[in-house]
Structure 1
Amino acid sequence: MLKAVFTRYIDNFRGFSREIWILTIITFINRAGTMVLPFLSKYLKEDLGFSYNQVGTVMMCFGFGSLLGSWLGGKLSDKIGFYKIMVFSLFTTGILFFVIQYVTTFMGMCAAMFGIMVIADMFRPAMFVSLGAYAKPENRTRALTLVRIAVNLGFAAGPALGGLIIVGIGYKGLFWADAITCIVSILIFWALIKEKKKEPIEEHNENTQSNVKKHSVFYDGSFWLFLFSSFITAVLFFQLFTTLPLYHKEAYNLTEFHTGLLMSFNGLMIFFMEMPFVGYFERKGVPKIKIIIWGALLMAISFYILIIHIWLGILLISLVFLTFGEMFCFPFSNSFAMGRAPKGHEGRYMAFYTMSFSAAHIVSAKSGMEIISRWGYTTNWIIMGTAGMLAVGCLLLLQRLLHKENT
């Protein structure tokens, strides 16, 4: 019985091309090397002596740079190809990480963080387009999931390694580590993967390019409704890293160690369960939009659960709902966005998709903290849960629009 379960689990990882596995490995190396980000606010406050307001401003510059970079990366991927953008983005980001350690003024850091994120986040939409080129049509969603798992594992390893580097060398060591991993990962990519033109994707489902009435993303109303829903679910997800750790401490007096255990539980669930879920839904041919709707609903419920402040186990139950929502939403949202794009416009579509996450990153912390400071945690959970239900409503409307497109 156990052998059959293990075999079925491993089968979900079969069928990928050599290029997909290499992309997964360099994604892990790159994300594990992204050690500055978890400690950035601490570095700005403690090492550079910035005020809380200045730290917030730098982080906003970080977010706006991410927005612009995502848009540029997508647009240029369509113009000159994803391969060149990926190589340029990661190699240049590595060089900039060497330089940024010498920037110590407030205005200089604002400009530096904006600039480095413009270059760094050009990589994301280009990488999504590359998956469309190197993955087989029948396993594209699983390929996206494989890369997501690499991202999660990288983010899990990065902060731990970063903490050791700070203790041993100091914050300067983080910039060196980030720079080296960026350059090493893209050199591996450049050496082992050759540029390939993206082939037309033939899929007979609700996302095929034949359903797109206009070639420009700006005229695709259904896609904009999808983006709005993705933005909301991303805002909910980012609460996991902003307001929830504070809530653990203030409402239940949990230590950083206990919060870390909960975060690790989230990562382990994704590692062991997301790929089997994706493989199952793909085999059954379940429409992507239906799975995304269920994901948004589970996310909304996870915040309503937090209103029940009577037992520590509520945190774990809420996290389980949030994690299942994440596993249902994000892999299929990625795949939906790529499948929605007409041939030759994949970069633009993925740019706007990644920009929705960048915008959510900016909005999530600011809105959550503001609501908590004015009205408390319970109000924040009610507002977040209700926002999740709004996303569900938008996705149900999108489902009807897609049905009309197909008839």
Structure 2
Amino acid sequence: MKKIIGLYVDSYRGLSTEAWLLAVVMLINRTGSMVIPFLSMYMSSALNFTKPQVGMVLGCFGLGSVCGSWLGGWLTDKLGNYKVQAFSLILTVPIFLILPNFKTFESLAGMIFLLTLVADTFRPANSVSVARYAKPENLTKAYSLNRMAVNLGFSIGPALGGFLATFSYDWIFYGNAIAALSAAIVFILFFKNRKPRNQIASLLTTEKKLTADDRNAYLDTPFVIFNVFCCLFSMAFFQLLSTLPLFYKEAKMMTEGQIGILLGFSGFCIVVFEMLLVHAVEHRFTPRQVMVYGTGIAGIAYLMLNAPYGVPWLYVSMFILSIGEMLTLPFTATISASRATLNTQGAYMGFNSLAFAAANIFSPYLGTYVAEHYGYNTLWLGTAAVMLFTCLGFSWILKKF
């Protein structure tokens, strides 16, 4: 027991105060993660949308995420990460509050696009904040801490959302609004007058001039290819938020409350194990090796869904999927931040966020289409195949880094 506690202490050692404060803000914000996991069920059950309509609305979610990620990266380099994060959190509150009033396919699709456009400007700005407040040797740990906060919130949010959905789906939107407002207040109180911690950060307060060393993120060929594979990984992995809840409800006959707990279990696993896992592998394996292993493990988790077993097996599959996530996603941010220069961090982090967001344009529609016409077994087999291809792709392109 003492050894395990010691490992936890070592995992968190060296992280800055700002890294912890950013994690607190992220925890509050993501505790309100009630809308996304239940959006497909909300449209299917409460609004009687067809599966293709559900997929198209979720595609608008992805399109807004792409635009928001690009806009967030651009605005971060122009205005700074503090302003972008503050405005994003504040502006999402009224959108969440009015969203339940839009019940037609066209109006809901437009509002979902607007919501994610505003909300996802936060992501690259937050990634830049982590990079600028963390010591270089603790960068992966800092991103893992931030993801731990995300997943702790995500372990609470779906469980709470499942409870609220038993009364009314409208309450999941109101819960998200309350969480976003609380996160905005805490973020502004913590970071409004906070000074840079070191000389590198203090350079950000001066006018930035690009130099010959400042590569264009969108013309950096190896980085572009890397982001293509990140997009493919995301298309497969984030079936977690689109077709997987529908699979649980339709194929496994689970209730909203049971689904919320199962999805929350993923966040719980990441909270408990990610920092330990990252601490164990980051100095023993290269980022390339870790990402290859993680992608392969995630593919196995989706393939396990085709086995004709009950709910306990679904928890095993979710645990395996969480391990794959823990081994892959923190290192995508680390690689992106390390590839950038001081003047281009916003663009590089925004491009990487865009790669994940772009997948959400096509992934939900493709997933729901395959499930509708060919069945869930074919969907999970195809998802595992994409993961395998991505695994080989990461192995190839990261050699060139």
Q: Which amino acid aligns with 1:234?
A: S
Counterpart position of 1:208:
none
Partner of 2:330: 331
TM-score, scaled relative to structure 2: 0.85
Find the counterpart in structure 1 of residue 206 from structure 2.
none
AA of the residue aligned to 2:267? G
Matched ranges for 1:83-94 at <5 A: 83-94=82-93
Matched with 2:230 is 230
Contact 1:93–1:179 at 8 Å: present in 2 too? yes
Which secondary structure state, in structure 2, belongs to the residue aligned with residue 15 of structure 1? coil
Distance 1:185 1:307, change over 3 A: closer
Counterparts in 2 of 1:342-357, with a 5 A limit? 342-357=341-356
- Larger CA deviation: 386-395 vs 44-53: 44-53
| Aligned residue in 2 for 1:19 | 18
C-alpha displacement at 1:192, in angstroms? 1.5
Residue 266 of structure 1 is matched in structure 2 by: 266
The yes-or-no answer on 1:239 pairing with 2:239 is yes
Distance 1:374 1:45 in 2: 17
Whole-angstrom CA distance in 1 between matches of 2:60 and 2:96? 16
* Counterpart AA for 1:273: F
Counterparts of 1:365 and 1:353, CA distance in 2: 20
More displaced stretch, 369-378 vs 127-136: 369-378
Per the alignment, do residues 400 and 110 of structure 1 end up closer, same or farther by CA in structure 2, a change over 3 Å counting?
Answer: closer
Distance of 1:59 and 1:65 partners within structure 2 = 10
User: How has the CA–CA distance of structure 1 residues 199 and 122 changed in structure 2, closer, same or farther, with 3 Å as cutoff?
Assistant: farther
- 2:153 corresponds to which residue? 154
Aligned mate of 2:188, from 165, 187, 190: 190
Equivalent position of 1:369 in the other structure = 368
Distance 2:41 2:53 in 1: 12
Letter in 2 for 1:365: P
Matched to 2:6, the amino acid is T
- Between 1:381-390 and 1:17-26, the stretch displaced more is 381-390
**Separation of aligned partners in 2, 1:95 and 1:316:** 36
Q: Displacement, 1:200?
A: 4.7
Cα displacement string for residues 207-254 of structure 1 (whole angstroms, at most 9, x for unaligned residues): xxxxx9871112211112211221222222223344444555666666
Residue 303 of structure 1 and its aligned partner are, at CA, apart by 3.6
Cα separation, partners in 2 of 1:268 and 1:98, compared to 1, 3 Å:
closer
**Structure 1 residue aligned with 2:126:** 127
User: Alpha-carbon deviations, 1:275-301, whole Å to 9, x = none?
Assistant: 01111223x253212211111122233
Stretches of 4+ moved more than 6 A in 1?
Answer: 310-313
Of 170-179 and 251-260, deviating more is 251-260
Where do 5+ consecutive residues of structure 2 fail to align? Answer: 202-211
Task: Choose the corresponding residue for 2:177, options 170, 179, 183.
Answer: 179
In structure 2, C-alpha distance between the alignment counterparts of 1:249 and 1:164, rounded to whole Å: 15
Residue 90 and residue 309 in structure 1: after superposition, are their counterparts in 2 closer, same or farther (change >3 A)?
Answer: same
TM-score, with length taken from structure 1: 0.84
In structure 2, do the counterparts of structure 1 residues 91 and 199 end up closer, same or farther at CA, with 3 Å as the change threshold? farther
Q: What is the aligned length?
A: 389
Larger RCO: Structure 1 or Structure 2 (Cα < 8 Å, ≥ 6 residues apart)? 2
- 1:145 to partner: Cα distance: 0.8
Please tell me the root mean square deviation across aligned C-alpha atoms, in Å. 3.0
1:204 is matched with none
Q: Which residue of 2 aligns with 1:400?
A: 399
Distance 1:162 1:262, change over 3 A: closer
For residues 240 and 109 of structure 1, the distance between their equivalents in structure 2, rounded to whole angstroms, comes to: 21
Counterpart for residue 207 of structure 2: none
Structure 1 Cα separation of the partners of residues 247 and 111 of structure 2: 32
**Residue 219 in 1 paired to residue 219 in 2?**
yes
What do residues 129-164 of structure 1 show as CA deviations (whole Å, max 9, x unaligned)? 000111111111111111111111212212333344
Cα gap change, 1:303/1:182 in structure 2, threshold over 3 Å: closer, same or farther?
closer
SS at 1:12 equivalent: helix
Separation in structure 1 between the aligned mates of residue 296 and residue 396 of structure 2, nearest angstrom: 14
More deviation in 157-166 or 266-275?
A: 157-166
Offset, 1:372: 3.2
Compared CA separation, residues 56 and 36, structure 1 to 2 (3 A): same
SS of corresponding position for 2:185: helix
Question: Does the residue aligned with 1:345 lie in a helix, a strand or coil?
Answer: helix
Preserved contact between residue 92 and residue 119 of structure 1 (Cα < 8 Å): yes
Where does 1:63-74 land on structure 2 (aligned, <5 Å)?
63-74=62-73
Q: Work out whether residues 29 and 153 of structure 2, in 8 Å CA contact, stay in contact via their aligned partners in 1.
A: yes
Contact persistence 2:158–2:263 (CA under 8 A): no
2: distance between equivalents of 1:41 and 1:199? Answer: 47
Q: Percent of counterpart pairs with the same letter?
A: 36
- More displaced 10-residue stretch of structure 1: 364-373 or 260-269: 260-269
Amino acid at match of 1:382: L
SS at match of 2:15: coil
Shift of 1:393: 1.8
Q: Which amino acid aligns with 2:330?
A: P
Cα distance, 1:336 vs. partner?
1.0
Larger mean Cα displacement after TM superposition, 179-188 or 36-45 = 36-45
* Per-residue deviation, residues 169-225 of structure 1 (Å, max 9, x unmatched): x45444443333222212211112235569659xxxxxxxxxx98711122111122
Counterparts of 1:11-50 in structure 2, within 5 Å, are: 11-44=10-43
CA distance in 2, matches of 1:190, 1:368: 39
Is 1:59 aligned with 2:36?
no
